[in-house]
């Protein structure tokens, strides 16, 4: 019989971002969740506090603007709020931004994750879930899918920094015995998505990638490609191996340029519709 964790007081890093906010909204809708959520977010360019507006219980929700690299702050929040689960979404992301300025990615994704792990090492009752990306595996060929056994083959400063953070999580679990899980999800898009994340000029625009639709509306019912549903299953299962790694994709492979073309078409159509109402 599978033993399930019951997360009660959860520290979410990057909870004002696209996927992190979807996770917070989802968690507050669960009838079995009666605990608290602490949302630690630096509020950089892709974060929006309005992503969780109206979806949280103010009596059980605390927002803190701060840096995951501030270990004293993270430790204090964990102790003050009796945190038992830490879900780490916060990251510098997007390949093109990492090509222009890789330093920020090394600082946030590698050293930031290290600082969080150091806190959990001293508070060993906390379960640590690390949210990563399938980009650590490199680019897909014309056919095939990534899996948990695909060798790492990062090809940008962004994916290299996430691969490094993955290795840190697994190493800390094996060395110090802390409770961890790790997920490598495909690209997500849907409500609250920052459109400019896809409408960019990138060097590897023809590379095949997998995409998964993540919607605030669809999260009311369980679908096979909804990342946060899978994430809750991984968080609760106590029967996983040390540093267990999970993949989650939409099983929809497409060149990035096709997704960009579709988004441009949608935006153009919406603008034309709006113009007719003026």
Answer yes or no: are the C-beta atoms of 75 and 119 closer than 8 Å.
Answer: yes
- Alpha carbons 121 and 115: distance in angstroms, whole number: 10
Catalytic residue among 135, 166, 172, 192: 135
Catalytic residue chosen out of the listed positions 158, 172, 227, 246: 158
Beta strands in the chain (DSSP E): 9-13, 36-41, 61-65, 85-88, 127-133, 180-185, 187-189, 208-213, 244-248, 253-255
DSSP string, 97-139: HHHH-HHHHIIIIIIIHHHHHHHHHHSTTSEEEEEEEGGGG--
The enclosing H or E element of 274 equals helix 256-277
CA distances from 30 to 7, 38, 42, 86, 98 (A): 12, 16, 26, 18, 36
Spatial separation of the C-alpha atoms in residues 66 and 77, rounded to whole Å: 11
* H/E segment holding residue 266: helix 256-277
* Distance from C-alpha of 154 to C-alpha of 117, rounded to nearest angstrom: 22
135 is an active site residue: yes
Active site residue 166: no
DSSP-derived 3-state class of residue 40: strand
* Active-site annotation holder among 41, 84, 92, 134: 134
Per the annotation, the verdict on 134 as an active-site residue is yes
Q: Which residues are catalytic?
A: 134-135, 158
């Amino acid at each position: 019989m599978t033993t399930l964790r019951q997360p009660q007081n959860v520290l979410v890093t990057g909870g004002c971002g696209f996927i992190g906010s979807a996770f917070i909204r989802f968690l507050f809708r669960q009838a079995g969740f009666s605990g608290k959520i602490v949302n630690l977010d630096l509020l950089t360019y892709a974060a929006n506090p309005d992503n969780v507006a109206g979806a949280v219980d103010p009596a059980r929700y605390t927002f803190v603007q701060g840096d995951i690299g501030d270990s004293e702050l993270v430790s204090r929040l964990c102790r003050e709020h009796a945190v038992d689960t830490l879900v780490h979404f916060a990251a510098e992301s997007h390949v093109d931004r990492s090509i222009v300025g890789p330093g920020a990615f090394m600082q946030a994704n590698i050293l930031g994750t290290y600082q969080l792990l150091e806190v959990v090492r001293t508070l060993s009752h906390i379960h640590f879930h690390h949210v990563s990306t399938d980009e650590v595996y490199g680019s897909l060929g014309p056919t095939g899918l990534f899996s948990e056994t695909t060798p790492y083959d990062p090809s940008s400063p962004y994916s290299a920094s996430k691969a490094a953070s993955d290795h840190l999580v697994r190493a800390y679990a094996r060395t110090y015995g802390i409770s961890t899980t790790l997920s490598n999800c495909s690209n997500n898009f849907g409500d609250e998505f920052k459109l400019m994340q896809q409408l960019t000029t990138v060097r590897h625009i023809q590379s095949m990638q997998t995409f998964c639709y993540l919607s605030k509306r669809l999260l009311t019912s369980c679908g096979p490609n909804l990342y946060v549903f899978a994430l809750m299953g991984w968080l609760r299962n106590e029967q996983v191996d040390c540093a267990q790694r999970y993949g989650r994709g939409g099983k929809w492979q497409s060149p990035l340029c096709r997704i960009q073309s579709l988004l441009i078409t949608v935006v153009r159509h919406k603008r034309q519709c709006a113009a007719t109402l003026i």
